Structure 1
Amino acid sequence: MPRILTYNVHRCLGTDGRLSPERIAEVIASCQPDVVALQELDVNRVRTGGVDQAHAIAQALGMHMHFHPALRVLEEEYGDAILTHRPARLIKAASLPGLSGRPALEPRGALWTAVNLGGAEVQLINTHLGLRRHERLAQVEALLGPEWLGHPACREPVILAGDFNAMPGSRAYGRLSSRLADAQSFPRIRRPYPTFPGRMPIFRIDHVFVSRSIEVVRAETVRTPLARKASDHLPLLVEFRAINATHARRLAPGLSAEQTETVR
């Protein structure tokens, strides 16, 4: 069954103060994912030695990569990437709205690829949302709108992954979970695990949301000693399979029958 990993790599700066894309790649490789959604990558930035972290990690894993810079200053970039060894095509990469009158807030973005996983073309969107509540809500509404999840091409099966900076119970999380199912809420999953901070995680802010035609069979954080050092977030690994509409109505937690009949 295919596996997806979402991972905020904190510009490859570990909790021990060491910069190492190689260590991040080692953590990812240990999970044997088919596709990886990464956030907080530095590309050609002075603060991290001018390394193209997205390329370095992809090369170490033998994967091809799509990168979107949420922030660009001259030659320096900072953003998110999707890596996979499966056939994939980039559909969209763009900025998400911030707050009017707050230009100093860190820019946020998302990227959308179509990946062939297990014989099905999965629409995968990777994102990293803002730190302020109203900023996150604006970004969530954009993702739910006609340019992203509501786009006609964003059809089943769909996965939305990333660092949402939103805990379960928050308005942003609630809006997303009204459309898609949280991978850690499926019946097979014993309990959800937090992802931040990496050494002793207490906050569940990194998520994988899935559409009605996906059944999650495994969802867990990677809690190895190396993962606890490599970044200030733990990776979240999700194993899944495509299912038919009848099973979807039974297995999609938190979604009404009307919602599971709607293709997003």
Structure 2
Amino acid sequence: MPRKTIKLLTYNVHSCIGSDRKLDPGRIASVIAETEADIIALQEVDVGRRRTGGIDQAHIIASLLKMQAHFHPALSVAEEQYGDAIITALPTGAVKSGPLPSIGETRGALSVEITVGDQKLLVVNTHLGLRGRERIQQMTTLLNSGWLHGTAESPLPTVLCGDFNAIPSSATYRLVTRTLKDAQLAGPGAPRATFPARYPLMRLDHIFVSGDLVVKKAAVFENRLTRVASDHLPLLAEIGFA
């Protein structure tokens, strides 16, 4: 198969609770379907939590999209889980998940190898902490502990995405952009803020790509539905292989 481009979406779904306080995984799935994304990285996903009716949000969203979900609970209390998911209909290989050094709420990361045509792509999804020092430790771990690029023998084109709780002037952002490209800067058009969804002021959600990937387009997906479905706006990038 020839090399192709893929659409990748990162989206903090706020436990599928919108700014209207309505719990609606179907609404989140509708937002994602409208973007026609091939690979979806979600943060703040509830699985088996009493506050959201005990449902498996990752599985429900994936089912509605006719895709498969890989979920990593950053936080587990008895049967209740909360964390990150990667959803796709493309063939997947090795999956890695684990905690990141955390001061406050436990944070983690999830990586999945995904086959795109005749290429393999490593997608790493994370949700970093609220404290600056904590985020630096977490990003340093992601950059230096074998999370990115696959194995040393066979490095893979890599996407690191998620809710970084870090604006572009932050030390965390500067650290990651030493080695990876910010998709919103690589794609045409000016970068757009992702939070809060109703009146976006801050660029907290990012898609970073390795040098062997090309960003064709990157855009914050904003319409009447996305402004209410979560407290973050989704970020979409169209990515090709160099």
TM-score, normalization by structure 1: 0.87
Q: Does residue 27 of the first structure (1) align with residue 26 of the second (2)? A: no
Q: Distance in 2 between matches of 1:64 and 1:140?
A: 27
Give the C-alpha shift of residue 12 in structure 1: 0.2
Q: Distance in 1 between matches of 2:162 and 2:171?
A: 17
Q: Distance in 2 between matches of 1:33 and 1:97?
A: 31
Q: Is the 2:150–2:156 contact (alpha carbons within 8 Å) kept by the matching residues of 1?
A: no
Hey, what does 2:171 align to over in structure 1? Answer: 171
RMSD: 1.2
Structure 1 residues 26-62: Cα deviation after superposition (integer angstroms, max 9, x where no partner):
0000001110000000001010111110110000000
Structure 1 residues 84-103: Cα deviation after superposition (integer angstroms, max 9, x where no partner):
0000124310000013xxxx
Q: Distance in 2 between matches of 1:240 and 1:92?
A: 22
Q: Is the 1:145–1:151 contact (alpha carbons within 8 Å) kept by the matching residues of 2?
A: no
Q: Secondary structure at the match of 2:138?
A: helix
Hey, what does 2:21 align to over in structure 1? Answer: 17
TM-score, normalization by structure 2: 0.95
Q: Distance in 1 between matches of 2:88 and 2:149?
A: 24
Aligned residues: 237
Give the greater-gyration-radius structure (CA): 1
Q: How does 1:225-244 map to 2 (within 5 A)?
A: 225-243=224-242
Hey, what does 1:134 align to over in structure 2? Answer: 133
Instruction: Calculate percent identity across the aligned residue pairs.
Output: 49
**Mind listing any 5+ residue stretches in structure 2 that lack a counterpart?**
none
Q: How does 1:1-264 map to 2 (within 5 A)?
A: 1-99=5-103, 105-149=104-148, 152=151, 155-186=155-186, 188-243=187-242
Q: Distance in 2 between matches of 1:116 and 1:145?
A: 24
**Mind listing any 5+ residue stretches in structure 1 that lack a counterpart?**
100-104, 244-264
Q: Distance in 1 between matches of 2:173 and 2:56?
A: 32
Q: Distance in 2 between matches of 1:212 and 1:134?
A: 27
